[in-house]
Amino acid sequence: MPQGYLRYVVDKLWSYRERRFAGRPDFFDSNVREGNRPPVFRREHGDLNLLYPPKGSSQLVELIRNAIPVSKRQRHFCSMKSSQALAQSVLGYLVHSGKLDLLNGLMTEDGETAFFSSAPLPNETCLEKDVTWLGEPSSTNVDLFCSGKTRVAVECKFTEADIGKCSRPNLIEGKNENFKRDYCDGTYTAQRNRKTRCSLTAVGVEYWRYIPQILKWSNGNDLAPCPLRSTFQLVRNVLAATVEQNGELTIKSAHALLIYDARNPAFQNGGYAWGQVRSALRDPSLLRRCTWQRLLQSLSKEPSVHWLTKAVQEKYGLESDHILDS
């Protein structure tokens, strides 16, 4: 990750901390900046990492705060550069203030509808949605899941260096309980006396049951490297959107969406993983991309959310008029 980008973002975050939380060093785990480490709230003050409407009712503030249960907060949620906190601030507000329709018709960098043409009902949206229908022993979550007329699985990134890789090649003997059973060398080949080419398939995960139907990747041949190794999170989100809870596959009115910072060098034109998946999809529109900048520019047209676009700009340096051409 180029240091110039990180330095710029971290500079913004430290300046925000100095303005917004002057005189409250007790909120943070450290009061001394070290390199490109951002301000980090103490765990008990993690709620302060969210943005709240200055004139919002106490009920709305509480809804935003609880849009993601504390139990589902990611490891680095208390870091000011947490993409989860950014997503909860922006998307959580839109969901619980009844303003999700402001995303109607928002277009992606590729001229596709980013979210939907008609907003889903409140009970059809969920932040950190548990994906329980892909056979995973321990279900992981989708940042925002919409299950209305258009099924959308949203993945939000900010300063990350990659999209989320398969963890099996990174297992370490002696540190991972099921290393002998689960370790994979990063190729889609039968290994370690397994009868399947994927160690995830061996424990009942159904990714490769559906992958050949939506991607140009065969599950009947050895593949080296495994195409899922660097694209894991995006492929999983596409599957979360296109596979219904009854196990049936639908590609009509369903897609995954990646939201990222246009300034992040790792995500130029969507990033490496996005390009790999998009080019391999039988229907490329099943995976779409939109920058935070484009989303904020759309929101800035609505006066009632000016507080949000301004707050995001002040904290993260994400300016609504800063859009990079694809």
Q: Which residues of 115-149 are buried (b: 16+ CB within 10 A; e: fewer)?
A: bbeebbeeeebbbbbebeebbbeeeebbbbbbbbe
Calculate the alpha carbon distances from 182 to 173, 178, 220 in Å. Answer: 10, 6, 20
* pLDDT computed for residue 56 by the predictor: 85
Check: CB of residue 114 under 8 Å from CB of residue 288.
yes
Which parts of the chain sit beneath pLDDT 70?
1-2, 320-326
Task: Tell me 37's DSSP state.
Answer: P
- 140-171: pLDDT as tens digits: 899 999 998 999 999 999 999 999 999 999 99
- 169-211: pLDDT as tens digits: 999 998 888 899 999 999 999 999 999 999 999 999 999 999 9
Q: Is the peptide bond before 225 cis (omega within 30 degrees of 0)?
A: yes
- pTM assigned to the model: 0.94
Structure token pair of residue 199: 């160690």
* pLDDT computed for residue 31 by the predictor: 93
- 210-226: pLDDT as tens digits: 999 999 999 999 999 99
* pLDDT computed for residue 2 by the predictor: 63
Cβ-proximal residues to 24 (8 Å cutoff; 6+ apart), any chain: none
Report helix, strand or coil for 105.
Answer: coil
* pLDDT computed for residue 160 by the predictor: 96
* pLDDT computed for residue 324 by the predictor: 37
* pLDDT computed for residue 298 by the predictor: 95
